Amino acid sequence: MKPLLAGNWKMNGLSASVNEVEKLIGMFDGSAPDDVDILICPPATLVGLFATEFSDEGIAIGGQDCHRKASGAHTGDISAEMLADAGAAFVIVGHSERRADHGETDAVVCAKAEAAQRAGMTAIICVGETESERKAGREKDVVGAQLSGSIPRQAENYVIAYEPVWAIGTGMTPTIEDIAAMHDFIRDRTRKDVRILYGGSVKPGNAREILAVQNVNGALVGGASLKAEDFAAIIKAAL
Ligand code: PEP
């Protein structure tokens, strides 16, 4: 399966950040490598600009969230159709920061994944346990329930991102054995052609080891995707 290296820029980036993506492309001699899929999910304000600038350069652009409805009285929200219209091919749904900050339940995440599909995009559905859930040995129960509740029944085009909440932005990662065990667990519960990304403090120094794990089909990268050098090193680790 072709690895997917996805950068989640979160609430970072201004129009001048075009330069950082140009720098990234420059690190591959001016065109993105064919052996991996590269995705950048900038803030919504930059989706249109980035899609215009980079879609022809082998970099896919995605949103970080979408509303479940196509349009309506939902001030401040953005629909999947709007993201697709702006040039997005992917959208992250159910990131733990949205589950925590906006109270998003599995049912809400599932509806957003359906919206992505309706708009012709690929949903990246995020799952992952908290630190206390892992300490209690409940990580598979938690992730299993999130998978059952968040993946649409008629799902066609989707990616799963396993992101242990305690590993996001902390510099901590599960052991390679724990990553392998969780990805095997997820593989048993998803179609064989679905990519399963690992996310949570992926850095140039640990990317090669993590990406070599069976059933790790790429990475969802937060902080390290903001710097061209670091993201390029992570992409190269997958080649
Ligand atoms: C994320 O927010 O999806 C993420 C994985 O962040 P970081 O790489 O910074 O841990």
- Which residues are bridge partners to 96 per DSSP? none
Catalytic residue, candidates 95, 97, 114, 129: 95
Q: How far is the CA of 68 from the centre of ligand 1 (A)?
A: 24
Nearest alpha carbon to residue 61 among 102, 100, 9, 118 = 9
Nearest CA to ligand 1 atom 4: 222
pLDDT tens track, the chain, 239 positions: 999 999 999 999 999 999 999 999 999 988 889 999 999 999 999 999 999 999 899 999 999 999 999 999 999 999 999 999 999 999 999 999 999 999 999 999 999 999 999 999 999 999 999 999 999 999 999 999 999 999 999 888 899 999 999 999 999 999 999 999 999 999 999 999 999 999 999 999 999 999 999 999 999 999 999 999 999 999 999 99
pTM of the model: 0.98
pLDDT tens for residues 72-109? 999 999 999 999 999 999 999 999 999 999 999 999 99
CATH superfamily of 4-237: Aldolase class I (3.20.20.70)
pLDDT tens for residues 152-181? 998 888 999 999 999 999 999 999 999 999
- One DSSP character per residue, 59-125 reads EEEEES--BSSSSSS-TT--BHHHHHHHT-SEEEES-HHHHHHS---HHHHHHHHHHHHHTT-EEEE
Distance between CA atoms of 26 and 58, rounded to whole angstroms? Answer: 12
Phi, psi of 237 (to 5 degrees): -65, -20
Q: Which atom of ligand 1 has the smallest separation from the CA of 169?
A: 10
